Amino acid sequence: MPTDPMRTDKKARKPLPPGATLGVLGGGQLGRMFSQAASKMGYRVCVLDPAADSPAAEVSALHIKAGFDDPVALAELAEVCDAVTTEFENVPADSLRFLQNSIPVSPMPEAVEIAQNRNREKTFFKEHNLPVNRCAAITEASQIAAAFESMSGKAVIKTARFGYDGKGQQVCTSAAEVESAFAEFGGVECILEDFVPFDCEVSVVLARDIHGNVETFPVVENQHINSILDLCIVPARVPAAVLEKAQVIAASLAEALDYVGVLAIEMFVCGESISLNEIAPRPHNSGHYTMDACNYSQFDQQVRTLVGLPVARVDLHQPAVMLNVLGDLILANGFDWSNVQSVSNAHVHIYGKSEARVARKMAHINLLGDNVASLMAKAKSLKQL
Ligand code: AMP
């Protein structure tokens, strides 16, 4: 990817001092935790989000209540802020480009655009010789038979854009099933991926600064329930060679993107081999353990890379297991936060969402301990609470 001229300027720029105002596009829990990290470092945060009850706005100095493509709101954001980042990938790249004309923006719009579309993402991986499983873009039903034929007999069709937590995707065992899923998705651009019989899923969260220094957090093992992240285990229980390979692949992807900011990379592990699933151009749910288990969190690194500070060297203090708390749990009879808050070495982060809904991420719990086996036992008993 060609180096953008803004980046060259940014390289020369001095870090923004405490007291500067940082903008964040999106007002969910990731924006909230970014804002908390920023305020710890003395920065003010301005949130752009249309929702009146935004979890991020609740803890931030300023809130512009408007859509992400509202030109008046974007102009105000550029006026008020000294630099801007995003907490979600579906922000219009043109909004980032507009902001980039007057203030530093990270990550840059080109990287966000790649992460917004699964076909672009996979094409980028292939072009840079990064390991990726068989896949094919589907834009018309007539492409499905040949695409399915080239795979192993089991494949996953996914909408190219706007899918998350398993939404907009279906596992299929025949071309006919793929065709009906494609029709059900409204004939929008899709990707067909060969089904990966993985041993486990891992992710790497990293930060890259304006000088090109990369710092990767320890590799996380991810377990899902109904395609929603349920539990993360650190260090991931995979061979040391796989841990190292995952970090090397992640760092080379960040280099290839000439990325600035925090990047999360999800991967499938089969034996000793790795294939890339998807990237998120922002902190990630699987990196929440860093808030308690590391000397710097993924949000600290997001702030540092945005203001132009060098990435901090990262240490894992202790093994960790992170549990997501979904609305389902809070809606269940007899749920009581104090049961969880009374457990020792269980760090509870509550997102301040006004309403609990099924499958809505409401909080997470970081369990810290001496080893993963005992933490997994603790996680199990905590779930039973
Ligand atoms: P994604 O939205 O791409 O992260 O997919 C959600 C979940 O579906 C992943 O975490 C996997 O558990 C599963 N999944 C996605 N793609 C594949 C694939 N190609 N093969 C097997 N499982 C998959």
Residue 126 falls inside a structural domain? no
CATH of the domain at 159: 3.30.1490.20
Query: Do 140 and 217 share a domain, yes or no?
Result: no
Host domain of residue 164? 134-194
61 phi, psi to nearest 5 deg: -70, -40
Helix, strand counts (H, E) of the chain:
14, 17
CATH of the domain at 335: 3.30.470.20
What's residue 187's pLDDT? 97
Query: Do 188 and 207 share a domain, yes or no?
Result: no
Q: What is the DSSP string of 163-218?
A: --TTTTEEEESSHHHHHHHHHHTTT--EEEEEPP--SEEEEEEEEE-TT--EEEPP
42 phi, psi to nearest 5 deg: 90, 10
For ligand 1, pick from 90, 156, 201 the residue to mutate: most ligand atoms within 8 Å of CB.
156
Which pLDDT tens digits describe the chain residue by residue (385 residues)?
434 434 445 556 799 999 999 999 999 999 999 999 999 999 999 999 999 999 999 999 999 999 999 999 999 999 999 999 999 999 999 999 999 999 999 999 999 999 999 999 999 999 999 999 999 999 999 999 999 999 999 999 999 998 877 789 999 999 999 999 999 999 999 999 999 999 999 999 999 999 999 999 999 999 999 999 999 999 999 999 999 999 999 999 999 999 999 999 999 999 999 999 999 999 999 999 999 999 999 999 999 999 999 999 999 999 999 999 999 999 998 899 999 999 999 999 999 999 999 999 999 999 999 999 999 999 999 988 7
Domains in the chain, number? 3
CATH of the domain at 101: 3.40.50.20
**20 is written with which tokens?**
């500067």
Residue 123 falls inside a structural domain? no
Query: Do 176 and 110 share a domain, yes or no?
Result: no
Residue 209 falls inside a structural domain? yes
What's residue 334's pLDDT? 85
Ligand 1 centroid–CA 277 distance in Å is 7
Residue pair 247/220 in contact by the 8 Å Cβ criterion: no
Residue pair 361/88 in contact by the 8 Å Cβ criterion: no
Nearest-CA residue for ligand 1 atom 18 is: 195
Query: Do 297 and 237 share a domain, yes or no?
Result: yes
Query: Domain end: 83, 115, 147, which one?
Result: 115
What's residue 165's pLDDT? 75
Torsion from C-alpha of 91, 95, 100, 102, nearest 10 degrees = -140
For ligand 1, pick from 132, 148, 159, 169 the residue to mutate: most ligand atoms within 8 Å of CB.
169
Query: Do 219 and 335 share a domain, yes or no?
Result: yes
Query: Do 342 and 277 share a domain, yes or no?
Result: yes
Cα 41 to Cα 68, 309, 323: the distances in Å are 26, 12, 27
What's residue 11's pLDDT? 52
Query: Do 230 and 101 share a domain, yes or no?
Result: no
Query: Do 187 and 206 share a domain, yes or no?
Result: no
Residue pair 65/50 in contact by the 8 Å Cβ criterion: yes
**194 is written with which tokens?**
């060969």
